[in-house]
Each structure stands twice: as structure tokens, then as C-alpha cells.
Amino acid sequence: MRYLTFALAKGRLAEKTMELLESIGFSCDEMKEKSRKLIFTNEDLKLKFFLSKASDVPTYVEYGVADIGVVGKDTLLEEKRNLYEVLNLGFGKCRMVVAGPEEMKDTLKSGQNFRVATKYPNIAKEYFYYNKKQTIEIIKLNGSVELAPIVGLSEVIVDIVETGSTLKENGLVVLEEICPISARMVVNRVSMKIEYNRITDLIDKMNKIINNE
Ligand code: PRP
């Protein structure tokens, strides 16, 4: 039997996913030991798991080196890979928003040109250019995006907000909501055919757990 391979976004999302998988019998003892290893296997069940940076999960799954991926909807929207999104896992909940200083609220509506700093240039483009038909300048950053409006690199940011404390502690507010975010399970298009039984069985079991059936 071939391995069923999972690409997980390393960190909390991978830990939560493993808890969920374990509850339906897809375990991996090797993964519980603290280490810096990136690949783990369960030889009995022929399962393989690897840990990658969140933004690379869709890439591993699209190229078929992983059959299944678990990653945030934010990453899926940004990476725009050709995958089947099969499950909303319900955890990793946060919101994609436009945030900035309170006084930017009117500028946002005015249609004036302004700068948007973000780790998510595709999401920002989609939102401002195609949904709102606004011409704005997008500045790609790689983290700590809240810094940009404070130091004057941009007027607003597009970012995820979970508890809201990062915004609050930096004197910023949510100006507009873009969409809700949570962890999703994605499947490679070919894997869905060649591993149809194993994958649909997995989806059914996960669905039952998620919906408390
Ligand atoms: C994320 C996000 C916000 C923060 C939101 O950043 O980009 O900065 O978390 O969380 P909160 O609403 O609970 O405060 P992350 O911690 O991933 O770091 P990064 O900005 O360096 O990518």
C-alpha cells in the first residue's frame, strides 16, 4: 500500500490537526517526541506527515507530494493553488480585515489613493481592485505588519486578527471586515481519484467529529 501523505502547517495548526486525526485513529507516535524532524511516519497505517511553513502547504499538495494538506483559509486565498478544499476544520478561527488608525475610516470610503501594507498582496488586490474597484498601492511585508501605519509606510494594513490585542496595543482598529478565516483540509486533485476510498473515509470520520455526531 502506498503512503497517504499529509502536509501540515507547523505550529499550533499541526498540533490541533494531529489531535483531531488521532481521535479518528490516524495517529503518529513519532510526532509526539520533541524534535526538529520534518517528516514522520506511521508504518502500520502507511501514513506520512510532514511539517512545512504554512504558505508552502498548498504548493506541496498541488504538486502531489502530499495528498492532503491542512492550512488556514488565509493561505489558500493568498496562494490560489488548484486544490480541492474538502473540510472546514473549525479551529484556527480569525478574521481577515483592513485595519489602521480610526481616522482612516473616511479615507477608505473616499476613493482616494492610499497605501496598504500586507503579508497577503493577492487578498488585498482581490478586495480593493475587484470587489471595491479602488486603486491603491500594495506594499508586501513579511510580518509585524501593524508597524507599517505607525511608522508611516502605509495608511492601512490587510491582516488577520484573532484576539485583537496586537491592533489594540498599537493604537489601530478594524476598519473593514474582508472574510472569516479558519483551518481547512485540502486534497490534491489526482490523489482524490487514486486514494478515493481512504480519503473519503477520512473526510467522513472528520466530519462526524467536527459536527459532534
Ligand atoms: C498574526 C497577525 C497579527 C496577529 C493577530 O501575526 O499577523 O499580527 O497575529 O493576532 P491577535 O489579534 O490575537 O493579536 P503573527 O503572530 O503570525 O506574526 P507576524 O505578524 O510576524 O506574521
Residue 35: predicted pLDDT: 84
Q: Is the CB of 163 under 6 A from ligand 1?
A: yes
Residue 174: predicted pLDDT: 98
Q: Could you count the other beta carbons within 10 Å of the beta carbon of residue 29? A: 9
Could you give the C-alpha distances from 202 to 60, 103, 121, 124, 138, in angstroms and in order?
Answer: 19, 49, 33, 34, 40
Residue 197: predicted pLDDT: 97
Residue 110: predicted pLDDT: 81
Residue 191: predicted pLDDT: 98
Ligand 1 center–CA 188 separation, angstroms: 29
Kindly tell me if the per-residue pLDDT of 34 is higher than 90: no
Residue 213: predicted pLDDT: 72
Question: How far is it, in rounded angstroms, from Cα 51 to Cα 168?
Answer: 32
Q: Please identify, by atom number, the ligand 1 atom nearest to the C-alpha of residue 142.
A: 22
Q: Per-residue pLDDT tens for 9-21?
A: 999 999 999 999 9
Q: Per-residue pLDDT tens for 107-166?
A: 888 878 899 999 999 999 999 999 999 989 999 999 999 999 999 999 999 999 999 999
Can you state the angle between helices 196-210 and 12-23, rounded to 10 degrees? 100
Instruction: Quote the mean pLDDT of the chain.
Output: 95
Q: Are 159 and 99 in contact (CB under 8 A)?
A: yes
Tell me which CATH homologous superfamily contains domain 4-92+182-210.
Periplasmic binding protein-like II (3.40.190.10)
Q: Please identify, by atom number, the ligand 1 atom nearest to the C-alpha of residue 161.
A: 12
Q: Is the CB of 144 under 6 A from ligand 1?
A: yes
Q: Is the CB of 201 under 6 A from ligand 1?
A: no
CATH of domain 94-181: 3.40.190.10
Q: Is the CB of 96 under 6 A from ligand 1?
A: no
Q: Please identify, by atom number, the ligand 1 atom nearest to the C-alpha of residue 94.
A: 12
Q: Please identify, by atom number, the ligand 1 atom nearest to the C-alpha of residue 163.
A: 13
Whole-structure pTM value: 0.95
Residue 33: predicted pLDDT: 84
The mean pLDDT of 155-178, rounded to a whole number, is 97
The mean pLDDT of 161-178, rounded to a whole number, is 97
- Residue among 39, 41, 40, 72 nearest 58 (CA): 72
Residue 212: predicted pLDDT: 83
Residue 201: predicted pLDDT: 96
Residue 141: predicted pLDDT: 98
DSSP, res 164: S
Can you give the residue ranges of every domain in the chain? 4-92+182-210, 94-181
**Fold match flag (4-92+182-210 vs 94-181):** yes
Ligand 1 center–CA 131 separation, angstroms: 25
The mean pLDDT of 17-36, rounded to a whole number, is 90
Kindly tell me if the per-residue pLDDT of 48 is higher than 80: yes
The mean pLDDT of 34-52, rounded to a whole number, is 93
Q: Is the CB of 159 under 6 A from ligand 1?
A: yes
Q: Per-residue pLDDT tens for 55-67?
A: 999 999 999 999 9
